[in-house]
A and B are shown apart, each in its own frame.
Chain A
């Protein structure tokens, strides 16, 4: 149980294009999902908290117009990197918290974004 998937697992795009990353909780409902960014050999940096049916809460320094988050259902949150640039290249990881379970966050496998 407590499986979280992400799609795609990796993506390469040209500078200026937009990329959408999906995060799904496969066997539980998640009122709250989280989006993280991780640079090589560094820890996870929380970007935003995604709340089902309401606006996401962004961490300080994260541009909400650049990183669009939509949490339209209890099992799906999407992160769209708009007008991507090479500095947006990173490992993006989502996590989900089981609405009916303990407070543990379960993580997806991550999405490697490379912007050329």
Chain B
């Protein structure tokens, strides 16, 4: 079956350094991808998204890279801050419209002061 998975379940990064969170997907028909941040006891918070016709998209301190050849998605967070500590999920949408999202297992990012 189709799946969305993350390479690393946990990641610790020194404050101020850059972090990279990776995600592999297997559904070649997916054309929309989203990164969410979830803090303890809260709902997921939208970070950034990217469509399959793009390779890179930048936001404030975050960059998402999409490599369709190897079905790989990554989230880069620049100059990490303590508030970046959370669980990060990638999600894919097989088609535009009302399709459900398929979530990855999540990566816990811990920023070390």
Q: Are B44 and A103 in contact (CB under 8 A)?
A: no
The B interface, classified by DSSP as helix, strand, loop or mixed, is loop
Residue A114 at the chain B interface, CB threshold 8 Å: no
Q: Which residues of B contact A8 (CB under 8 A)?
A: none
The answer, among A42, A91, A106, for a CB contact under 8 Å with B46, is: A106
The A interface, classified by DSSP as helix, strand, loop or mixed, is strand
Q: Are A105 and B101 in contact (CB under 8 A)?
A: yes
Q: Which residues of A contact B101 (CB under 8 A)?
A: 34, 46, 105
Q: Which residues of B contact A25 (CB under 8 A)?
A: none
A43-B106, A44-B103, A104-B34 known; A110 vs B42 contact (CB < 8 Å): yes
Interface size range on A against B: 20 to 34
Q: Are B41 and A107 in contact (CB under 8 A)?
A: no
Q: Are A110 and B93 in contact (CB under 8 A)?
A: no
A44-B89, A93-B44, A112-B41 known; A104 vs B49 contact (CB < 8 Å): yes
Interface residues of B (CB under 8 A from A): 32, 34, 36, 41-46, 49, 89, 93, 96-98, 100-101, 103-106
